[in-house]
Each structure stands twice: as C-alpha cells, then as structure tokens.
Amino acid sequence: SLRRMAAIDRNVLRLGAYEILMTDTPGRVVINEAVELAKRYGDRQSGQFVNGILDRVLHQTASSSVDGDPPQDAAIAEATGNQTAGNQATAESASSSPDIHQPARSDAPPPKVNHGRFQTT
C-alpha cells in the first residue's frame, strides 16, 4: 500500500513515473537518476525498489504503445477519472444536460471579494 511505503521512495517514484509518462527524457536516464536519488536519501533497499517499479512502468508504457492500446493521455485520463480534450468534447456533445461551465452573464454584478475577512452582509 502507498501509505506503508517510505515517503522518500513514494516521492522518487512519483517524479520518475511523471518523467517517464509525460516527458521526452529517455526512460533509462529517468530510472538511473531516480535510483541515485533513492540510494542517497532512502534506505539500503530503496534503490533496488525504485529501479524495479520504474522499470515496470517503462516497459508497460512501451508495450502499450506497441500493442495499439489507447494513447497515453487517454490511459492517464481513465486512471485518474479525468477526460482528455477529445473525450471531453465527445462527452459534452453526447450529453443532453446544459453546460454548467458557461461564462457568467455580462449584466451580472461582479463577485464580492473579501480577501480572507468575514463579510457582515
């Protein structure tokens, strides 16, 4: 479980996974840098642990792009519950409910800003 994992390992894995999934940095470079961070700031086994997990992430992303799985952004959106721009447009056009993200009317008064103070009205 993530809660039982050492905070250093968890954060190094977050950084490494982000770089593998979202940047053009070569995967082996990302893994090497993450392992070095884990060795320096983690415990004796952190380097091996981080290496194993990030290697698996790298291989799964490489195999998913070869196997013809959905693109990375769609897979990430599915995992996080968010929609990509293309999926969002499709979902909005398929929905019959009104759009709740319409801009405010121009004749509406501007919102009150209290800068952290309580308002009496």
Q: Can you tell me the distance from the alpha carbon of 113 to that of 80, in angstroms, rounded to the nearest whole number?
A: 32
Give the C-alpha distances (Å, rounded to integers) separating 45 from 5, 8, 112, 116.
12, 12, 54, 46
* Residue 75 reports pLDDT greater than 80: no
Pick the residue with more confidence: 85 or 112?
112
Domain extent listing, the chain: 7-81
Superfamily of domain covering 7-81: NusB-like (1.10.940.10)
The pTM of this model reads 0.54
For the segment 33-72, what is each residue's pLDDT rounded down to a tens digit? Answer: 999 999 999 999 999 999 999 999 999 988 876 555 445 5
